[in-house]
C-alpha cells in the first residue's frame, strides 16, 4: 500500500468512526433459550414482525429435551423447540399441543398475541407424519385453530392488530401442482380466522393460494398473497400461472404481474399500498413491485436480474435488496418516491440484504458473504451503513449477524452467534438478542444483560401442553427461477417431517 492509498484508507476509517459515533449506542439483552443451546427467529419469512412496539418478542427456542422425532427434527440441533413470549426480561415457555410436540411463534401483534405453528400427536393419513397445526397464543391460552374441512395440515403465518389470524391449510382435495406452495399433494388454501371461525378466502380461479406476511399495520379484512389463476400448465415453467392477489372484505382481486407468469404479494401498509415480487416477461428475471391505486409499478434493480421487497412503512418507504450487474452480488436497498437507493454493505463484505424498517426510516438487515450472514447492520439518514457490532459494548462475546425487526422506539431484534463461530444461513444457531438504544454511554449501556429467566406457561413445573381451546374449523434460466420461487414460498416453513 503506497502513502496516498494509506491516507485515503485512514480518512475513510476516520469518517466511518465519526459517523458511528453519531448513532445511539445500544444495550444488548440476551433473550436466552428455554433450557437448550439456541433460540430462533423468522420461521416463515424474513420480514414478519416478531417484536412489537411494547418490546414484546414472540418466537421459539430449544428446550433442554431432545426431539423425539430425530432425525426428522424441526430445528438444526435436534432439540425439542417450543414457542416463547419474552417480556420485561422474562421468557415464558408457551408449550405445545398435548404430547411431546414442537411449537414455534412466527408473528407478534400489538396486544402481544402470537401466531405460529406446531406439530400434533395425530398422524396425517396422507403423509404418514405428524399433522402440522395452525396455533395462536392469546394472553395465557393456546388455541388450536384446526384445519379447513377435509384438511390435515395448517399453519398460522401472522396475527394482525385486529386479532385476525391469516395462514393456510390444505382441504384434502387432490392438487398435483400444490407442491409449488407446500408438499401435501392437496389443495392449499389461505384462511382468515376471526372469533373462533376459520374461513377459506378462495383463489383467483386456480386450485391453490397462499398468503403473504405482515409488515406492521394493515386494514381489517385485508389479505395479500399468491394464487394459481387456473389449472393450465405453462410450458416454460411447468406450473399454472401464479398471480399476486388482494382479498378485501370478501372480494378477491388479481393484482397482475410485470409480464411474467409467477408473482406474489408480500405485505401492505395501512393505506393499502402492497409490495411483492413478479417475474418479467420470459420468466427469467424477478423484480420487486409496488401496487397502489389499482396500478402495479416495477421497482427495478441495481442492474442485475432480481430484487426483493420485504417491508413497507406508512409513508410508503420500502426496504429490500437488489442484484448488482455482477453475478451473485446484491445490496440492501430502499425505494422512496419512485427512486432506488443502494445502501451498500459493511466494510469488507461483498453483499447485504435489508429486512426491517420503522416509520423514522431506520433500516436493519444483514451484511453477508453473499451466502452466510456476517454482520447485522443499521442504516439511518443519508449516512453509510453501520455495523451494529460497533454500537454494542465491547467484550459482549456475541457477534451480531442479522437484524430482523426495528420497532417505533428504535429497539432492534437481532440474531447473535458466539464470537469465533462461523455463521451459516442454514444453521441459524445462536441466540436472539434485543438492542435498546441508549442516550449516553453510561453504566447501563456499558454492559450486557444476563439471559432471561424461564417461566413455564402453567406454573413452576415443566408442562408440554399449554391450556388449549379447540376450534373447528439469481436465476439463469426459467427452470432455475421456478425452483427459486418454490424455495421462497417454502422458506422457513419448518413444521417437523414436512417431506414424507
Q: 427-437 pLDDT, tens per residue?
A: 567 999 999 99
More confident residue, 491 or 403: 403
More confident residue, 12 or 211: 211
Its pTM stands at 0.88
Whether 393 has a pLDDT exceeding 80, the answer reads: yes
Q: Would 4 be classed as within a structural domain?
A: no
pLDDT at position 24, please?
A: 85
Whether 494 has a pLDDT exceeding 70, the answer reads: no
Q: Would 337 be classed as within a structural domain?
A: yes
More confident residue, 23 or 281: 281
Q: Would 53 be classed as within a structural domain?
A: yes
Phi and psi of 22, rounded to 5°? -80, -10
- State the CB neighbour count (10 A cutoff) for residue 115: 32
With contact defined as beta carbons under 8 Å apart, do 463 and 95 qualify?
A: yes
pLDDT at position 459, please?
A: 38
Per DSSP bridges, beta strands 103-108 and 373-379 are unpaired
Burial of residue 182, with CB atoms counted within 10 A of its CB: 0-12 exposed, 13-18 middle, 19 or more buried: buried
**What value does the mean pLDDT of the chain take?**
86
What pLDDT digit, counting tens, does each position of 202-257 carry? 999 999 999 999 988 889 999 999 999 999 999 989 999 999 999 999 999 999 99
Q: Is the peptide bond before 71 cis (omega within 30 degrees of 0)?
A: yes
Q: C-alpha grid cell for residue 41?
A: 427467529
Q: C-alpha grid cell for residue 452?
A: 432471561
Q: Would 13 be classed as within a structural domain?
A: no
Q: Would 498 be classed as within a structural domain?
A: no
Max mean pLDDT range (12-26, 100-114, 122-136):
100-114
Whether 56 has a pLDDT exceeding 80, the answer reads: yes
Q: C-alpha grid cell for residue 313?
A: 412503512
Please give the residue range of the domain that contains residue 250.
23-489
pLDDT at position 5, please?
A: 31
pLDDT at position 488, please?
A: 53
**CB neighbour list of residue 35: distance below 8 Å, 6 or more residues apart:** 62, 63, 64, 65, 454
Give strand pairing partners of 365: 354, 377
What confidence tier does 130 reach under pLDDT thresholds 50, 70, 90?
confident
Whether 23 has a pLDDT exceeding 90, the answer reads: no
Q: Would 438 be classed as within a structural domain?
A: yes
Whether 17 has a pLDDT exceeding 60, the answer reads: no
* Pairwise CA distance, residues 162 & 221, whole Å: 9
What pLDDT digit, counting tens, does each position of 310-369 carry? 999 999 999 999 999 999 999 999 999 989 999 999 999 999 999 999 999 999 999 999
What pLDDT digit, counting tens, does each position of 162-208 carry? 999 999 999 999 999 999 998 889 999 999 999 999 999 999 999 99
pLDDT at position 473, please?
A: 28
pLDDT at position 449, please?
A: 62
Task: Classify 386 as helix, strand or coil.
Answer: strand
pLDDT at position 126, please?
A: 84
Burial of residue 341, with CB atoms counted within 10 A of its CB: 0-12 exposed, 13-18 middle, 19 or more buried: middle
Task: Classify 5 as helix, strand or coil.
Answer: helix
Max mean pLDDT range (59-73, 239-253, 411-425):
239-253
Provide the domain count of the chain.
Answer: 1
**CB neighbour list of residue 480: distance below 8 Å, 6 or more residues apart:** none
Report the share of the chain in percent with pLDDT over 90.
Answer: 70
Least confident of 17-26, 198-207, 320-329, 372-381: 17-26
Whether 444 has a pLDDT exceeding 70, the answer reads: no
Q: Would 16 be classed as within a structural domain?
A: no
CATH of residue 374: 2.130.10
Q: Would 187 be classed as within a structural domain?
A: yes
Of 137, 119, 118, 132, which Cα lies nearest the Cα of 58? 137
Amino acid at each position: 500500500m503506497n502513502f496516498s492509498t494509506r491516507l485515503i484508507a485512514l480518512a475513510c476509517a476516520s469518517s466511518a468512526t465519526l459517523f458511528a459515533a453519531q448513532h445511539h449506542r445500544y444495550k444488548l439483552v440476551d433473550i436466552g433459550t428455554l433450557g437448550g443451546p439456541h433460540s430462533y427467529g423468522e420461521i416463515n419469512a424474513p420480514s414478519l414482525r416478531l417484536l412489537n412496539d411494547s418490546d414484546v418478542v414472540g418466537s421459539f427456542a430449544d428446550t433442554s429435551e431432545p426431539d423425539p422425532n430425530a432425525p426428522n427434527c424441526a430445528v438444526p440441533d435436534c432439540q425439542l423447540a417450543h414457542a416463547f413470549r419474552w417480556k420485561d426480561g422474562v421468557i415464558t415457555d408457551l408449550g405445545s399441543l398435548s404430547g411431546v410436540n414442537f411449537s414455534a411463534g412466527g408473528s407478534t401483534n400489538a396486544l402481544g398475541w402470537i401466531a405460529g405453528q406446531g406439530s400434533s400427536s395425530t398422524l396425517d393419513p396422507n403423509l404418514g407424519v405428524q399433522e402440522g397445526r395452525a396455533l395462536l397464543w392469546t394472553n395465557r391460552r393456546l388455541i388450536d385453530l384446526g384445519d379447513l374441512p377435509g384438511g390435515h395440515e395448517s399453519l398460522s403465518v401472522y396475527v394482525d392488530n385486529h386479532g385476525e389470524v391469516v395462514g393456510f391449510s390444505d382441504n384434502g382435495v387432490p392438487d398435483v401442482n400444490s407442491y409449488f406452495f407446500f408438499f401435501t399433494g392437496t389443495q392449499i388454501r389461505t384462511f382468515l380466522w376471526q372469533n373462533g371461525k376459520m374461513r377459506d378466502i378462495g383463489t383467483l380461479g386456480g386450485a391453490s393460494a397462499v398468503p403473504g406476511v405482515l409488515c406492521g399495520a394493515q386494514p381489517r379484512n385485508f389479505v395479500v398473497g399468491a394464487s394459481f389463476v387456473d389449472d393450465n400448465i405453462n410450458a416454460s415453467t411447468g406450473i399454472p400461472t401464479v398471480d399476486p392477489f388482494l382479498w378485501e372484505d370478501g372480494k378477491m382481486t388479481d393484482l397482475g404481474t410485470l409480464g411474467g407468469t409467477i408473482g406474489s404479494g408480500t405485505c401492505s401498509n395501512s393505506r393499502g399500498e402492497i409490495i411483492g415480487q413478479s417475474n418479467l416477461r420470459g420468466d427469467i428475471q424477478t423484480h420487486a413491485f409496488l401496487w397502489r391505486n389499482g396500478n402495479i409499478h416495477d421497482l427495478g434493480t441495481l442492474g442485475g436480474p432480481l430484487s426483493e421487497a420485504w417491508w413497507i412503512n406508512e409513508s410508503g418507504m420500502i426496504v429490500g435488496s437488489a442484484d448488482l450487474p455482477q453475478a451473485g452480488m446484491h445490496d440492501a436497498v430502499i425505494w422512496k418516491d419512485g427512486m432506488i437507493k443502494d445502501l451498500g454493505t459493511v466494510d469488507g463484505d461483498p453483499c447485504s440484504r435489508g429486512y426491517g424498517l420503522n416509520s423514522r426510516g431506520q433500516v436493519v438487515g444483514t451484511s453477508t458473504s453473499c451466502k452466510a450472514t456476517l454482520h447485522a447492520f443499521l442504516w439511518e439518514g443519508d449516512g453509510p451503513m453501520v455495523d451494529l457490532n460497533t454500537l454494542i459494548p465491547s467484550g459482549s462475546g456475541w457477534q451480531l449477524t442479522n437484524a430482523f425487526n426495528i420497532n417505533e422506539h428504535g429497539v432492534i431484534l437481532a440474531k447473535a452467534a458466539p464470537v469465533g463461530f462461523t455463521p451459516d444461513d442454514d444453521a441459524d444457531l445462536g441466540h436472539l438478542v434485543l438492542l435498546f438504544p441508549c442516550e449516553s454511554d453510561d453504566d447501563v449501556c456499558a454492559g450486557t444483560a444476563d439471559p432471561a429467566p424461564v417461566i413455564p406457561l402453567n406454573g413452576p413445573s415443566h408442562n408440554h401442553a399449554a391450556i388449549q381451546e379447540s376450534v373447528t374449523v439469481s436465476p439463469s434460466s426459467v427452470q432455475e427461477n421456478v425452483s427459486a420461487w418454490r424455495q421462497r414460498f417454502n422458506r422457513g416453513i419448518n413444521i417437523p417431517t414436512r417431506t414424507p
